[in-house]
Amino acid sequence: MSSQIPIGTQVPAASPVLVPAVSTGQVKHNGGHRNRYRNRSTNWNKRTFTPMLPNIEALSSNSENKSQDFSKFQKSIHHHVLTTFKSSKDLSKAILEFKDPYSDLKSDRPSLTTIRTENNLEPVPPTSGETAEEKFIREAENADRNEMTKMLFNNELKIFTERERDLTQNLTILWATVMGQCSPALQEEVSGEPDYATKSANFNSI
């Protein structure tokens, strides 16, 4: 038997279900947020990597930046080295031509023969019919020339030794500078090279 509601009795209306409204602006905002997050995750290396020196071009792996111009890095680090490193000229070919700077340095090693020739300090040879007095004067002149040659040689050798020491130190600093401009991904690639351990131990910047 079904229950019946007497005529005239008021029936309360059903409570409305609250449904949160979503505006088109909110949908657009959420979509834009997702896109921005996607871009950040794709380019996180580029956005978070800060090179050691801002005045030198940074280097990244090919997967990070296929359009990078290595020549810009070369020029910027070459300018930095020439303007900040001591005895920086010895590093120029190492950076621009990838040549061992020690080879050119060794060719500049001073020698007594070179110093005599460049400074016109060769011994005066005896002349035919030379008198005792002329021989004494000539030998005294040769002794002075020999002393001058030794003095110049010692000075040049001191300069050469300083250049050699500076070059060794500069190559170490250059190694740290180059690595400091590389992104973590590129550093990982470089460290994976078979001869990396040997070259890093010697700070082989080339």
Which range, of 26-30, 161-165, 166-170, 188-192, averages the lowest pLDDT? Answer: 26-30
Confidence of residue 135 (pLDDT cuts 50, 70, 90): very high
Position 31 pLDDT exceeds 70 = no
| Average of per-residue pLDDT across 6-15 | 46
Residue 146 resides in a domain: no
Please tell me the predicted confidence (pLDDT) of residue 49.
79
Residue 150, in any domain of the structure: no
Residue 46 confidence (pLDDT):
45
* Predicted pLDDT of residue 15: 44
Domain limits for position 107: 26-123+155-201
> 108-116 contacts: CB < 8 A, separation 24 or more?
108/160, 108/163, 109/160, 110/153, 110/156, 110/157, 110/160, 111/153, 112/149, 112/150, 112/153, 115/149, 115/152, 115/153, 115/156, 116/145, 116/149
For residue 189, is it within any domain?
yes
Q: Give this prediction's pTM.
A: 0.66
> Is 148 within the bounds of a domain?
no
pLDDT at 5: 45
Predicted pLDDT at 47? 52
Q: Is residue 5 part of a domain?
A: no
> Is residue 171 domain-resident?
yes
Q: What is the mean pLDDT of residues 183-203?
A: 92
Of the given ranges (17-26, 50-59, 152-161, 193-202), which has the lowest mean pLDDT? Answer: 17-26
Note whether residue 44 is domain-resident. yes
What pLDDT, on a 0 to 100 scale, did the predictor assign at position 28?
44
The per-residue pLDDT for 16 is 44
Give me the pLDDT at residue 66, please: 83
169 domain residue, yes or no: yes
pLDDT tens, 32-86?
A: 444 444 444 344 444 567 888 999 999 998 888 888 899 999 999 999 999 999 9
Residue 59 phi, psi dihedral angles, 5° rounding:
-120, 140
Domain count, the chain: 1
Average pLDDT of the segment spanning 75-101: 94
